[in-house]
Structures are given as C-alpha cells and as structure tokens.
Chains A and B, each alone.
Chain A
Amino acid sequence: MKEYAHPEVLVNTDWAAAHVDDPKVRIIESDEDVLLYDVGHIEGAVKVDWQTDLQDQLIRDYVNRDKFEKLMSEKGISNDTTAVFYGDRNNWWACYAFWVFKLFGHEKCLIINGGRQKWVEEGRPLTKEVKEYPKTDYQVSGTDESIRAFRDDVTVHMGSGKPLIDVRSPKEYSGELLHMEAYPQEGALRGGHIPGAANVPWATAANENGTFKSADELRSIYMESKGLKTDDEVIAYCRIGERSSHTWFVLTYLLGFERTRNYDGSWTEWGNLVRVPIERP
C-alpha cells in the first residue's frame, strides 16, 4: 500500500483486528444490504446505513447537521475519533459513507482495504453483538462542499472542457440502458452520458478479493489510458453518486488528485433535466 499517494488512509485487516477495542477508533460497517451487519460484523463495529442514516428521507440530500451530530453521538463517535470504514461490494458503500463523513468535515477517516469480503475470506470472527457506546457531544465544525459537485458546477465544468469520469457500466454510458434492468424507479428519461465524459466503470479499481488495485495499475487505468493528471479538476458521477464515491476515493487518496468532486445528483438528475446536453457514442 506504500506506493499510494496517501497510504495512511488505508489499513489492513490485521490492523483492524488489533484495534477493535481501541477507544480512539470506531469501526463502522456500511453495506448495500441493510441487514448484512445484523448477520454478523467485526467486534465492536457500529452500523451506518447509507440510506436510512445518511440521506434525508424527504428532500434529495444528505441529513442535516443536527441529524449527523445526533447519529455520531449515538454511535459513540467524537470529533477526534478515527472512523474506520468497511463494507460489502469492494467497499463501495464504505467509500460512500467515508465521503459523506468528509462532507461533514470529519477529520480522521480510514478504510479497511478489502472490506468485509477480505475479513470473511480470511476466516476472521464476526459477532452479532451490538456494542453500545456512551453518547458523545459531537459538533460539526464545518462542512467541506469542495468534494461535492452540483449540476450547475457540472455544467460549468463541462463547458470548460475539464475531465469528467462516468463510472457506470458501458451500457449505461452508451445510453443503451436507460436504467439498470428492472430498476425503473432509478431511471432517467434520456440515456447517454455527460458530453466529454470518459467511461471507467468503478469496479475497475478493485481486485477480485475486494482490495484496491496497486498504485501502478490505478495509474495505468486513470492516467495513462484516460490521460488524467493529478492536478486536473475531475468530476466523477454514476447513477446516484454512490459508485462514483469509490472512484473519488481512489483518485483523491490513492492517486493523489487534488481537486476531485463527486456529483451525487449523477445520471438520475442529469438524464432527467430539460435541455441539458447529452452525448451518445
């Protein structure tokens, strides 16, 4: 992991196993499957659900500051706690939760490389016991909107020819699919991609065992093949902004891109907007 730009944000499963009782550390499981944590999780880990905990249920946005502070307090997380994320599907949702924590300005965030899959494949123990922690007085000190792109930002970005990475599947990118099969409620009225966007499906960055690919392999994928440079301003998007948070993590922390943003409105916003330009190959 040493060759990554910011290797300090990744820990391995050994490290996680050695820190399950560390009071300065809170291990957080974030999965696509809302029940997976309940089936068994790393000792002492708490669950943060990407949808019911982090997203507002009425307005399409993240929870407000008060709700985030309440969530942190309930999970026993203080401002100086090191939040260590892991989850299913190549840490897809762990990266999403990591990104949302960063939006709220949480300073110390780490990812367990390989996530739940690697932990389980190594035969490490899982428990159903849900540990309770004393409530904290968490205060959001300031949000960091510099990692989030809104549609107007994307319009300006596109207009000035800056790089966009579309991390959806090739069929979604080409416009052949308007939505993932049988996912009509997550669809868009138009298929295609934001003009100028390059297609790099998000999971390209992961190995089969769920860990991130090596720095050399990642450089080859994003920099040599797609011509991105670490001082480029890049916006990543997918369908609802979750897969692209994985790519945002890879570009920002593993390759050292300084100005990468995640467009969480993504295709379910862009593909439904009136009069925005769309490209099909």
Chain B
Amino acid sequence: MSHSPEHTPAIPGDHGHDDHPIDLAKTVRLYLFIGGCLIFGTIITWAVAYYVDLGDKHLNIALGLLIATVKVSLVCLIFMHLNHERGLIYKVLLFSMIFFAAMMFLFILAQMDPILNHFGNQP
C-alpha cells in the first residue's frame, strides 16, 4: 500500500530549478498579492479609458495598453515563473517575438504602401 504523501517535502532535484521545498503560505501570499495588483491594474485601465481625459484619446489608448503590458509581464514573470526559467524557454520565446515583430513590420509596410495611398486619395 502506498503511503500518503501529505506534508512530505518536495522531491529535491526533480524539477530543474525548484530544488527547495515550497513554503505554501508564503507562496500563496505572493500569488494573492500579484492577483491584487492585476485587479488594481484592471480598475486603473477602466478609469483611464472612461474617466481620465489626457487631451488626446491616443494617449489614453497608449496608457491603457502600457498598463495591460505591465499586467501581462506580472503574469509571465510570477505565475508562469519566467523570472527564473531555463535558457531554452527564453530562446523559444525570443523566436516568437522576432516573428511577431516581423509580422507587425509587414503590417506597417502595408500601411505605408505608396500605391495604396495614391489610389486611396482619389475622389
């Protein structure tokens, strides 16, 4: 019969980077804090979009997206453990970022297309 593993420490050395038994209360406190930050960020984004007038709506959009980026960074770094991961994962993500940037660059090229702009301006 297998024994119950309740309250036994994590198996050392079996998880790459998590070599230490976890302090559940402390870890969950951190996650709750990050969750609180994300909720706070969401409220701020709502306020920026509806109740704060920065003079130009593009500034509101930029600020809203900046807050969203900070929130996404928190999720990635803390919840997805990207603050202490192995190099391979960063390399995989780097390729994704490069491809994404290339895709957005193509989009910018389409927007700057002189032929499209020329015909677009015709009455």
* A and B together in one complex: no
